[in-house]
Amino acid sequence: MDSDAYSTEFGFELRTCEWVEREWPPGSGGNDRKGDGESENEIENTATLVARQLGTERRRWDTIVLECDPDALGERARFGPTRLDSDLRHVVRNAPAEWTYYREALPHPGYPWRYVREAIHRADDRAILETRKDGNRIQIRRKWPYPDWCERIVAIENKPDLDRSAARRLRPQLEFDVALGLADEVWVATRRTGDRVEPILLEDLPVEAGVLAFDPDDLSAEVAWHPRSLAIGEPGTRILERPGGNTHDGSAARFEYVDPEWKRERRLGIAERAYERGWRSFVETMRPDCRHFLLRERDGQLLPYCGAKGYQPTARECSGDCPDYVPEPPAWRTKGWPIEGGPGKRSQQLLSDRRRRQRPGLEPSSE
Ligand code: SF4
């Protein structure tokens, strides 16, 4: 694979995700977090899940790292590979151990009960909740307690080449993250230069953000700056608008407070989506059904490659607009088609199998 592939944010990001999955936390052979009173044993007892391009309506992170309790992560698998949305979470987290009329068992959701009934039916269809009728009344009983599986959320921005203008754009994003305190930590991953002082450290970025000097060619990284833990359990500030920055702009920044409960729910929503998608879902936004689409292995990682262009395409290039797109010939889809599909389907299956390996407890057929 041409290392130029890693100069795009997309190529760099895929390598970051692979590295995180193998090596997180940075310097875990070393002592990154011991300063926070965390023992080596606790670090070893953490399972890592990686996803990409997730966040909230206002802010999407490049790479998301979930640090999980391994046993609780295994218990989460009982609820299946698909995410639990907020309505389903409301039901399964509050479902009682004994049969109870659902309106007596669940706290009022703040919206009409008919939506709760709809969520109960969906949970029943997914076999993650028990239901029965008592006359006209629906009773529910939990199958398993919903585990507290995600311990920490870490957000990483990927900036292979952080020039001045990229740093200027990055700064408000990091300030937004720090003020809100939705993730436990925020980092910037940038290409390692080998200079005595990494150039990114000379930029005016928030000191709370960690800096990872990453080499996507040999999958190695060094911590250039350690992050500070953000106050996820305290109210946060959401920056809605900021002054334009020129000296004549006398307008004030607009912001609003968010309470810890809002953050807790958002974090869980992000964790559930990350559980479902992982980072190998990149193939779902590309064209694996194109005859030129290939997965090539680099250091054990499967990366997209375009046979027509002769390089790793970005997700934007490898889309329905690509002028070189040619559908894979039906003859490739022999034996079992359309159930098994052609090479494109096999690419998706390969990536899906690898994603499942990171989620202990899921059945092989569950994706
Ligand atoms: S030709 Fe276009 S659509 Fe086909 S694999 Fe290459 S980039 Fe993707």
Give 240's pLDDT tier (boundaries 50, 70, 90). Answer: confident
C-beta atoms surrounding 343 within 10 Å: 17
Average pLDDT, stretch 347-364?
A: 78
Is residue 39 pLDDT above 50, yes or no?
no
Q: pLDDT at position 343, please?
A: 66
Q: Give the domain ranges of the chain.
A: 3-72+149-277, 85-142, 281-366
What is the mean pLDDT of the segment spanning 121-131?
97
- C-alpha 52 – ligand 1 centre gap (Å): 22
Cβ of 295 closer than 6 Å to ligand 1, yes or no, is no
- Supply the pLDDT for residue 200: 79
Check: CB of residue 155 under 8 Å from CB of residue 61.
yes
Ligand 1 atom with least separation from CA of 322: 2
Could you tell me the pLDDT band of residue 230, with boundaries at 50, 70 and 90? very high
**Higher confidence at residue 315 or residue 351?**
315
- DSSP letter at 235? -
How far is the centre of ligand 1, averaged over its atoms, from the C-alpha of 316 (Å)? 10
With b meaning 16 or more CB within 10 Å and e meaning fewer, what string describes 219-250?
A: bebebbbbbeebebeeebebbeeeeeeeeeee
Residues 319-331: what's their mean pLDDT? 88
Among residues 305, 220, 285, 302, which one has the least CA distance to residue 2?
A: 305
User: Burial of 158 by CB count in 10 Å (0-12 exposed, 13-18 middle, 19+ buried)?
Assistant: buried
Average pLDDT for 183-196: 92
- pLDDT computed for residue 195 by the predictor: 84
249: pLDDT confidence band, cut at 50, 70 and 90? low
* DSSP-based helix, strand, coil % in the chain, nearest 5: 35, 25, 40
Q: Is the C-beta atom of 309 inside 6 A of ligand 1?
A: yes
Does ligand 1 lie within 6 Å of residue 322's CB atom? yes
Lowest-pLDDT range of 29-33, 56-60, 231-235: 29-33
> Mind listing the pLDDT tens digit for each residue in 82-107?
999 999 999 999 999 999 999 999 99
Q: Provide CATH code, domain 85-142.
A: 1.10.10
* Residue 260 burial (10 A CB sphere; 0-12, 13-18, 19+): middle
Mutate to test the pocket of ligand 1, among 293, 312, 321, 347 (most ligand atoms within 8 A of CB): 293
Least confident range of 127-136, 196-205, 282-291: 196-205
- CA 47, 50, 52 angle in degrees (round to 5)? 165
What separation, in Å, do the N-terminal and C-terminal C-alpha atoms of the chain show? 29
- Beta bridge partners, 187, equal 156, 210
